[in-house]
């Protein structure tokens, strides 16, 4: 799809479909919508007055100009009420309008910058949200053929540059999310550790990143006994990816992103039941989010030094699979008693967090579908956030609010650490019974950190059961937009 910015008017756009906006309670169309209404001899005002177009968020009404303007059809999309209006509403409205256009067979589409007039958003943010909503709302697995061309139309020449910048950001972020969604949706026999390595190779080629693809021998040299324990039974060879964007030539301390890459989680010998196995190809959603964020960072040519670490393996069973009661040694020498082989993600992350310290990072954020407990606690509206640094936690929470990828901070109290005490090792990988599983898992990870750190448990937000706004049924790509927003401001 070609996306462009046009300095002109919506009523003169030479496309088959135009998109304009209105709010709940708006008596008459204004701004660009009003200009189009004049060209249509009041047709938009009439449909609003009739009550057929009430302005509910994401609702659409289609009008046919019959030669009054060049476009074959007009999609009037509701932005909801003006009170509380924000960029999230723009994303949802843009997604709804775009899907309606696709249903109607639109090939060339022009839209006003949703929310930039009466809505009060700055035009750059509104343009970014419009493009994000359109691209994500039209998401279709491994396909990108909805429209041939999409343009944002801005009449004021003085604002065109800001619109173009917003479009650039919106495209970059949306492509990162789409990559993450694609990776999570692919079956586990396709999205293997080596497949993730291939994706990383593509990112490195496209954006000039430095890439290391570590194999078993590479991990053994670094003492990654926790990661390798999970990989013992794997049929597909494990990979440890190190992807670096370094525009500072090593001068700046990096931000390190860590993504859990369990490409299929059977639970190992602590095997999951039939229902528990459903969806376990999605246990690499953290890795997908980190790779998607790196793609966006590369497209945006971020001035920040960012390193992504992705420990990738499947957690399956064969004669060599690790067992409950095994004791394994992580890269920092910590010994770990295995209570449950289904608490494997924290073992991958432990070695990745130890490895992160070798880069002397300014901050580390790990992203993982770590526990079902966090979904019980927070549902699908927010991820769980844990941190050893209040300022870093606050920054991530703020980015979550701006992007609507919300994070809710949960505690790391000493009592959770105490539940990891082992009689035969430095700690155990699971506390068993007692509740608070997300907090206990985060307390385990904290043992392997020596720097400002945030853990995002995204198990409850990795996918949705039905389409709502720009979140299309299936994987959400949660974390990409949050991470990019935070890194941009870090």
Residue positions annotated with a catalytic role: 272, 346
Backbone φ and ψ for 433, nearest 5 degrees, come out as -80, 165
Helix (H, G, I), strand (E, B) or coil at 445: helix
426's CB contacts (< 8 A; 6+ apart) are 334, 335, 336
Q: Tell which residue, 205, 287, 302, has the closest CA to residue 241.
A: 287
Q: How far apart are alpha carbons 372 and 222 in whole angstroms?
A: 31
Residue 189 contacts residue 277 (beta carbons within 8 Å)? no
Helix, strand, coil shares, percent, the chain, to 5: 40, 20, 40
How many Cβ atoms are within 10 Å of 423's Cβ, its own excluded? 6
CA distances from 59 to 56, 80, 89, 98, 443 (A): 5, 9, 12, 11, 45
Q: How far apart are alpha carbons 123 and 305 in whole angstroms?
A: 29
Residue 437 CA to its chain's centroid (Å): 24
């Amino acid at each position: 799809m070609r996306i462009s910015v046009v300095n002109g008017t919506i009523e003169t756009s030479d496309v088959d479909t135009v998109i304009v906006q209105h709010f709940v309670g708006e008596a008459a169309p204004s701004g660009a919508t009003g200009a189009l209404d004049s060209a249509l001899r009041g047709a938009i005002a009439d449909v609003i007055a009739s009550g057929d177009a009430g302005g509910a968020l994401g609702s659409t009404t289609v009008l046919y100009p019959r030669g009054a303007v060049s476009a074959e059809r007009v999609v009037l999309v509701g932005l909801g009420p003006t009170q509380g209006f924000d960029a999230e509403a723009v994303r949802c409205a843009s997604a709804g309008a775009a899907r309606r256009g696709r249903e109607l067979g639109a090939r060339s589409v022009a839209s006003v910058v949703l929310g930039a007039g009466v809505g009060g958003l700055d035009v750059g943010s509104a343009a970014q949200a419009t493009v994000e909503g359109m691209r994500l709302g039209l998401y279709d697995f491994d396909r990108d053929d909805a429209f041939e061309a999409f343009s944002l139309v801005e009449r004021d020449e003085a604002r065109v540059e800001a619109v173009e910048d917003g479009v650039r950001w919106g495209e970059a972020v949306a492509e990162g999310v789409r990559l993450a969604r694609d990776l999570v949706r692919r079956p586990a026999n396709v999205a293997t550790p080596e497949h993730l390595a291939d994706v990383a190779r593509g990112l490195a080629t496209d954006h000039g990143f430095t890439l290391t693809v570590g194999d078993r021998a590479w991990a053994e040299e670094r003492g990654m006994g926790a990661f390798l324990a999970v990989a013992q039974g794997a049929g597909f060879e494990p990979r440890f990816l190190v992807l670096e964007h370094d525009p500072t030539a090593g001068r700046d301390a990096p931000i390190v992103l860590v993504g859990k890459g369990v490409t299929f989680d059977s639970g190992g010998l602590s095997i999951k039941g039939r229902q528990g196995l459903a969806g376990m190809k999605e246990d690499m959603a953290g890795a997908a989010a980190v790779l998607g964020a790196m793609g966006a960072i590369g497209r945006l040519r971020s001035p920040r030094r960012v390193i992504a670490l992705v420990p990738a393996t499947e957690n399956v069973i064969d004669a060599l699979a690790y067992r409950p009661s095994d004791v394994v040694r992580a890269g920092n020498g910590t010994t770990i008693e295995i209570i449950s082989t289904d608490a494997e993600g924290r073992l991958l992350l432990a070695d990745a967090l130890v490895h992160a310290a070798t880069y002397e990072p300014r901050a580390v954020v790990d992203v993982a579908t770590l526990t079902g407990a966090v979904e019980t606690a927070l549902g699908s509206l927010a991820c769980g956030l844990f941190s050893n640094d209040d300022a870093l936690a606050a920054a991530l929470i703020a980015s979550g609010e701006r992007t609507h990828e919300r994070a809710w901070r949960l505690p790391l109290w000493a009592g959770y650490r105490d539940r990891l005490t082992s009689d035969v090792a430095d700690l155990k990988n699971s506390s068993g019974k007692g509740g608070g599983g997300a907090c206990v898992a985060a307390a385990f990870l904290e043992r392997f950190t020596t720097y400002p750190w945030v853990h995002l448990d995204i198990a409850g937000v990795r996918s949705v059961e039905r389409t709502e706004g720009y979140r299309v049924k299936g994987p959400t790509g949660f974390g990409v937009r949050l991470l990019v927003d935070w890194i941009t401001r870090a």
